Amino acid sequence: MKRMVPVIAAALGLLAAPIAAAAAPAPEAGQGAQPAVAGQSPADIRSDMLDRLFARLGKAASKNEAQTVEQAIWKLWMTSDSPTAELLLAQAVKASAAGDNDSALKVLNGLIEVHPEFMEAWNRRATVYFLMGRYQESLADIDQVLKREPRHFGALSGLGMIKRKLGDLSSARAAFSDALAVNPNMEGVKRALEEIDREERPL
């Protein structure tokens, strides 16, 4: 439980300034978090914080506020009850960023085997599979992500990208639209929908 306090504090710290600027009272957010830290499990704390953050994300009054809330959401998604799981996830992300997807995949396979509840491990493996052109395996992992968190706008965006590559524009449109319904501030997804509109428009 003690590990969760810095994570929650960081999320609240990220939110404090933009929420205040948007006339949403920061003290209320802080008051809501304190009982959760005292009486809930780490998973319940994360769930409660994510609910609050998603409510803010849909009502963000500025691009800066939306980006701040989005960063706080990602921070919670990257958090696990296991420090080892977090370390392995970071290693996999670093390897993939360096272009070593084979190493990233090995790390993520082991991580998911030991910590199948760690949703972001599934999401990162879906990304690695996508980068390797292994789309069906990526889709299977995205399904695992969305079973655990239907609001995962990153996974929804990835789903749209794969469906578009496979030529299923209708499913791509649906996935991109679902992503924007959760996070209206994804400019790349907006552009993808515009491109699909042009592709589907009769000559």
Q: What is the pLDDT of residue 80?
A: 93
User: Domain boundary residue among 59, 77, 95?
Assistant: 77
Quick one: pLDDT band at residue 130, thresholds 50, 70, 90? very high
The Cα 69–Cα 58 span in angstroms is 10
Q: What is the pLDDT of residue 180?
A: 96
Count of other CB atoms within 10 angstroms of residue 193: 17
Same domain, 92 and 177: yes
Contact 107, 133 (CB under 8 A): no
Q: What is the pLDDT of residue 15?
A: 40
Same domain, 57 and 93: no
Crossing angle of helices 119-131 and 153-165, in 10° steps, is 20
Q: What is the pLDDT of residue 39?
A: 66
Q: What is the pLDDT of residue 37?
A: 52
Count of other CB atoms within 10 angstroms of residue 173: 18
CATH number at residue 125: 1.25.40.10
Q: What is the pLDDT of residue 41?
A: 83
- Give the residue with greater pLDDT, 56 vs 25: 56
User: Domain boundary residue among 16, 49, 77?
Assistant: 77
User: Mind spelling out the 3-state secondary structure of 148-182?
Assistant: HCCCCHHHHHHHHHHHHHCCCHHHHHHHHHHHHHH
Q: Does residue 16 have a pLDDT over 70?
A: no
Encode 7-37: b = buried (16+ Cβ within 10 Å), e = exposed. Answer: bbeebbebbeebbeeeebebeebeeebeebb
Write out the residue range of the structural domain in which residue 46 sits. 4-77
Same domain, 100 and 178: yes
**Mean pLDDT, rounded, of the chain:** 84
Q: What is the mean pLDDT of residues 63-70?
A: 95
